[in-house]
Structure 1
Amino acid sequence: MSLTPSVERLTEELTRLPGIGPKSAERITHYLMQARAEDALKLARAIEDVKTNVRLCRECFNLSEGTDICQVCQDARRDQSLLCVVEQPRDLMSLEKTGSFQGVYHVLHGRIAPLEGITPDKLTIGPLVDRVRRGTIKEVIMATNPTLEGDGTALYLSNVLADYDVNVTRLARGLASGTVLEFANREMLADALSGRQKF
């Protein structure tokens, strides 16, 4: 038995979402069909609100709603001389949850990955350099992901920023407190050894 065109269209659109394969899309479609109309429409309205109201902050490129400047950039208590560079807004949110960083951010919206066609000009590197050029930033923390592309992006940015009077640092890596060496993976141990500090 074939599905109706509307059901097929919804299932097809759901498969476009990251991590959603055909079977998951079918399950979600059938869940939405069985849900109360007001619940399904609430989801549709939430998606519409995000697409209509959320924009990128003109300063750091984080997500912002209702204004051109995000909440972090608006916060006068933040240390404007300390800038943390992240790949995506979700990385910024993860750092914010720690409650330990009181500086400001810059969101690249990706990482340099030539094999995927992602070159430096496709990221927000130009505006980052403009922010550093203003002279108010004293330290740039590279908080890109510890992957080949993330490390390459951090290295590229540190070279670009070498001409400016700014201290460029990288997030520490290695063993977390409470980690047992036996269960640490090779990369964690390598990072811990290369990043060792004086006792």
Structure 2
Amino acid sequence: MTDDPFALFEEWFAEAQRSEPNDPDAMALATSTPDGRPSVRIVLMRLHGPEGFGFFTNLQSRKGQEIAANQAAALCIHWKSLRKQVRAEGVLQSVSTADADAYFASRSRDSRIGAWASDQSRPLDARETFLGRIEEATARFGDDDVPRPPHWSGFRLVPERIEFWEDREFRLHHRRLFTRQPHGGWSEGLLYP
């Protein structure tokens, strides 16, 4: 047992990387509009640790606009093969320029081209339009490096609450809740299933 939720997360995530057949880093991210209308989608967790859980996106996308208007968010990572999940609630903070640049540079060239070609979440009249924009961006950069677009960066969810859920027989699940304390550290308790 640990009193550090991030140490526990590292244990569970390492186990998921060994057992989960696809995308052990996939997480459902919930944001909302300024008037509280929720929106949820799957994103890939690309950063994790005591600073929080990070992902990257087009800042002009629906999620980017929702985050700009309301930084409160929640996430859920479910590992079906382990019968475990982690939920976190908190606020989203922008990642550093260095983190955004480093992750963007690690992506495949085609993914980097796609970040320039896509008006993520906005209406698209035909797939051919998007494919044409990919061709244009490919020609624009030629053999040169593809830099990170100014409208592409990332966020970390800095958790105020982290819940670890484990499936148990007869739905008598085990739930541990860590709550961030105002002056640092975490308190821990259990929740009824």
**What TM-score bracket applies, with the shorter chain setting the length?**
under 0.3
The TM-score, its normalising length taken from structure 2, stands at 0.23
TM-score normalised according to structure 1 size: 0.23
Q: Which has the larger radius of gyration?
A: 1
Higher helix share: 1
Higher share in strand: 2
| Structure ranking higher on relative contact order (CA contacts 8 Å, 6+ apart) | 2
